[in-house]
A and B are shown apart, each in its own frame.
Chain A
Amino acid sequence: MAADFLLQGETISRLLVGLSVTLRISLVSVALSLPMGVLMGVLFTRRNPLLRAVLRVYLEFIRVMPQLVLLFIVFFGSATMLGLNFSGEVASVIVFTAWGSAELGDLVRAAIESIPRSQYDSAYALALSRRQAFLRVILPQAVRRLLPPSVNLVTRIVKTTSLCMLIGVVEVVRVGQQIIDFYRFDYPYGALWTYAALGLLYFAICWPLSLLSRWLEKRSS
């Protein structure tokens, strides 16, 4: 039942390299999703029916499809259909940015729409213009409501990047598999310990984010 292979320097450094790939995909995707998601959410509250319809279809498609399907479409599909050969990591960033900005766009829309009508009335009654009311009164309140679910979205993205291994990205779970393979004969319990360790590793990243999100939520209410 020994698990000392997990504590060997080489194992740890390999896991850290894998983890850095996981975090790189997550962080780049989150950073790209932020401006795109906010833009999408604001556009969604506009009255233009054509714009709404196009955004709606895009949003619904991205949100209803499993992320793994999206990964397959971008990784395998773009090569066949568009002649574009993305590396697994680039394909992953594309997918998680598309997904992240769609989810964030929906959160932004919901946050804006959750601000009561009476806040607009108050602002208008004070003679603020539509633009002033939106930028100075509505948006700051929406951002406060937006923070907790956005932090949650980051944890969802971090967790979901584990799927990237299924399109050949050597992120932390794939590294784990390699380690299990490598120690297969010396450590028959390798799979048990390695997956447990991977679980703990993700937990160590995602749980604090979940706590942060909950804290933000409590503070804002």
Chain B
Amino acid sequence: MSASATNHKTALEGEKSLSPVLELRGLVKRFDDHTVLDGIDLSVRAGEVVVLVGPSGCGKSTLLRCAIGLEKIDGGSILLDGQEVSGRERSQELRSRMGMVFQSYDLFPNMSVLDNVMLAPVLVRGADKAELRQRALALLDRVGLADKADARPATLSGGQQQRVAICRALAMDPEVLLLDEVTAALDPEMVHEVLQVVLELADEGLTMLIVTHEMAFARAIADRVVMLDGGGVVEEGDETFFDAPVTDRAKAFLKTFEFHRDR
């Protein structure tokens, strides 16, 4: 499991199918008269990990929220396995096949960790509780939190809460997992434990669309990097994006992560 991300990419290359699991076509989203997403085309293939980067306010998070149907879209369409799911009445089906983890974890504070993980499969799928319980405990065990199953979220550290939030999303067996800056609210020493879990999920071939500001992590995990700015896709590429960006905007953006001191 600890194999480096670069290895997993080559190892899994052959297994990746070419048909997209998630496809956004000409996605448009406006807030009042401000157009945040101006006709975005983006597709994520099965087993692929796509990382979205870009300056603050470029609409990365909005894109994820649109993809899972939390925001009404103003144009374009969302396809899951080639099936259009952007209609209003279908958004719940869309959601049950996708998962999302938020920046501020947002566990349900009134339930135990285990109940957080079990809630959606029970309510949405009518899953058998005893069976589900085993699965939920196994998920928690995988992220090293089996001993916290009965704890309340508030008693956990941020990193632990975020790992539970990942389990909660995984319990629904999502076809695609959306991660929205999952480490942005965490103390530095907790960032690693969460990103390690995400890397392991990538190794197992989970399809993910990830928004992150952690450039080292992005480089390690991404099969493909997509940079958004000004409502559109500025540049798209593999890890060469980080070393040799093509566009000026990508160059300027990557420069904001570097520090120099003139001596």
Are the C-beta atoms of B124 and A122 separated by less than 8 Å? Answer: no
Binding site for A on B (CB under 8 A): 65, 68-70, 92-93, 95-96, 98-100, 102, 104, 106-110, 119-120, 123-124, 168-169, 172
Binding site for B on A (CB under 8 A): 116, 118-119, 121-129, 132, 136-137, 140-141, 144
Are the C-beta atoms of A141 and B110 separated by less than 8 Å? Answer: yes
Given A127-B96, A140-B110, A121 contacting B102 (CB threshold 8 A): yes
B residues near A144, Cβ cutoff 8 Å: 110
B101 shortest CB reach to chain A, Å: 9
Given A127-B96, A136-B119, A140-B110, A118 contacting B104 (CB threshold 8 A): yes
The number of A-B residue pairs with CB atoms under 8 Å apart is 57
Q: Which of B104, B110, B119 contacts A126 (CB 8 A)?
A: B119
Q: Which of A118, A127, A128, A140 contacts B102 (CB 8 A)?
A: A118
Q: How many Å lie between the Cα of A129 and that of B98 in the bound state?
A: 15
Are the C-beta atoms of A127 and B110 separated by less than 8 Å? Answer: no
B162 shortest CB reach to chain A, Å: 13
Chain B residue with minimal CB distance to A140? B110
Are the C-beta atoms of A129 and B92 separated by less than 8 Å? Answer: yes
Given A121-B70, A141-B110, A144-B110, A128 contacting B104 (CB threshold 8 A): no
> What secondary structure prevails in chain A residues at the interface with B?
helix
- Pairs A–B under 8 Å by Cβ, sample size 23: A116-B106, A118-B106, A121-B65, A122-B106, A124-B69, A124-B70, A125-B95, A125-B98, A125-B99, A125-B169, A126-B99, A126-B124, A126-B168, A127-B92, A127-B96, A127-B120, A128-B124, A132-B123, A132-B124, A137-B119, A141-B108, A141-B109, A144-B110
B22 shortest CB reach to chain A, Å: 14
Q: How many Å lie between the Cα of A29 and that of B226 in the bound state?
A: 62
A residues near B93, Cβ cutoff 8 Å: 127
Q: How many Å lie between the Cα of A33 and that of B107 in the bound state?
A: 32
B residues near A119, Cβ cutoff 8 Å: 106, 108
Q: How many Å lie between the Cα of A122 and that of B109 in the bound state?
A: 12
Are the C-beta atoms of A136 and B123 separated by less than 8 Å? Answer: yes
Most buried by B among A118, A121, A126: A126
